[in-house]
Amino acid sequence: MDIENIIYEFYKPGSVTCELLLRHGERVAAKSIGIAENLTKNLILINPDMEFIMEAAMLHDIGIFMTNAPSLGCFGNVPYICHGLLGRTLLDNLGFPKHGLVSERHTGAGITAENIRINALPLPCRDMIPVSIEEKIICFADKFYSKNPEKSGYEKNIPEIIKELELIDKTHADRFAVWAEELLAVDKFSLKL
């Protein structure tokens, strides 16, 4: 799989949005691989698909260009919350349905059908929550980095992420906290520092 060629099908090489997408993907991929390697080293997880993790982490936000997110150089007509679903469609159409599922399921800490219904989100009313360990690792790693150019390179800490997710929905924060315990062996008491 040639990640850059896939991205260049939808993004002009060298454009602000393309560079944001690539740098963010690289950070998320590196964090994801580090988490998977640590789980393997500690015999918590045996044989995660490292190649898939790297590829899917690089492509998880591929749908942002179709959204209305001017701070990211995206001037589409669809709300930003739809970028994961849009990315899934793009990746499915390219013949990468497993990668597409990562794209769809990474938003927030996953979105439930109940979240969609209660908040009248412009998404199909179904669960969009990471299922495989690779999906969970990528979704978890993604929360540490913003695509916002003003925050480029800054890595959030776990308590910051939990606070941000609580603003969206407490279930998102709770799911992320469980992943922190499972993926980083962080005890629940240090999550609320």
Specify burial of residue 108 (Cβ count, 10 A radius: 0-12, 13-18, 19+).
Answer: buried
Residue by residue, DSSP assigns 24-66 as: HHHHHHHHHHHHHHHHHHTTSS----HHHHHHHHHHTTGGGGG
Cβ-contact 130, 110 below 8 angstroms: yes
Structure confidence by residue, pLDDT tens digits, 84-102: 999 999 999 999 999 999 9
Structure tokens that stand for 1 in this block: 């799989």
Give the model's confidence band at 21: pLDDT under 50 very low, under 70 low, under 90 confident, else very high: very high
Say what the pLDDT of residue 189 is.
Answer: 43
Residues 52 and 109: their CA atoms lie apart, in Å, by 20
Each residue of 119-173: pLDDT tens digit? 999 999 999 999 999 999 999 999 999 988 888 778 999 999 999 999 988 999 9
Query: Which residues are paired to 68 by β-bridges?
Result: 75
Question: Tell me, what's the pLDDT at 43?
Answer: 66
pLDDT at 153: 77
φ, ψ at 78 (rounded to 5°): -115, 140
Detail the DSSP E strand segments found in 59-186.
Answer: 68-69, 74-75
Q: What b/e sequence results for 126-140 when a residue is b if at least 16 CB atoms lie within 10 Å of its CB, and e otherwise?
A: eebbbebbbbbbbbb
Q: Tens digit of pLDDT for each residue in 160-190? A: 999 999 998 899 999 999 999 888 865 444 4
Q: What is the mean pLDDT of the chain?
A: 91
193 vs 22: which has the higher pLDDT:
22
- Token digits for 157? 């800490």
> What domains are defined for the chain?
3-186 (1.10.3210)
Q: What is the mean pLDDT of residues 51-55?
A: 97
pLDDT category at 193 given cuts 50, 70, 90 is: very low
Q: Average of pLDDT values for 29-58?
A: 88
Q: What sign has the CA pseudo-torsion 77, 164, 109, 128?
A: negative
Joined together, the tokens standing for residue 116 give 């969609």
Q: Output the pTM of the full model.
A: 0.91
| Cβ neighbours of residue 130 closer than 8 Å, sequence gap 6 or more | 102, 105, 106, 110, 136, 138, 139
The pLDDT value recorded for residue 165 is 93
